[in-house]
């Protein structure tokens, strides 16, 4: 006997989601290790705290971090390290760009 109200077949949406999840690089493992470490393009985080080297994707997030972790020191945007400006100068056009969802497969 089959289960109550359980569909017997997979929907096209569910299959497409599984294929997309299996073939798209989400930044995990060895493929995303260089991106997370910031060796090539600076990683996902653009700014780095000059005091504790914590990274943040934008100035607003860095200001929130600074207010929470360094409340006695005044926040100064000019002291922030822009990781994309330093690392992105090497060779951006030498690697192929990923597709619309981050996958090289079409």
CA distance 59 to 6: 48
Domain residue ranges of the chain, discontinuous segments joined by + = 38-92
Q: Model's pTM, two decimal places?
A: 0.45
Q: Express each pLDDT in 27-64 by its tens digit.
A: 677 766 766 665 555 456 788 888 888 888 888 988 99
Cβ–Cβ under 8 Å, residues 80 and 50: yes
State CA 44 to chain mean position distance: 4
Q: Express each pLDDT in 67-98 by its tens digit.
A: 999 999 999 988 888 877 765 454 455 566 66
CA distance 22 to 12: 15
């Amino acid at each position: 006997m089959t289960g109550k109200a359980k569909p017997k077949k997979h929907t096209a949406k569910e299959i497409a989601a599984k294929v997309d999840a299996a073939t798209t690089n989400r930044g995990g493992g060895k493929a995303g290790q260089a991106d997370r470490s910031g060796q090539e393009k600076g990683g996902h985080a653009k700014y780095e705290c000059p005091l504790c080297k914590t990274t943040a994707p934008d100035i607003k997030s860095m200001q929130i971090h600074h207010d929470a972790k360094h409340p006695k020191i005044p926040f100064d945007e000019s002291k922030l390290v822009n990781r994309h400006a330093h690392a992105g100068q090497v060779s951006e056009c030498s690697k192929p760009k990923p597709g619309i969802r981050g996958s090289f497969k079409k």
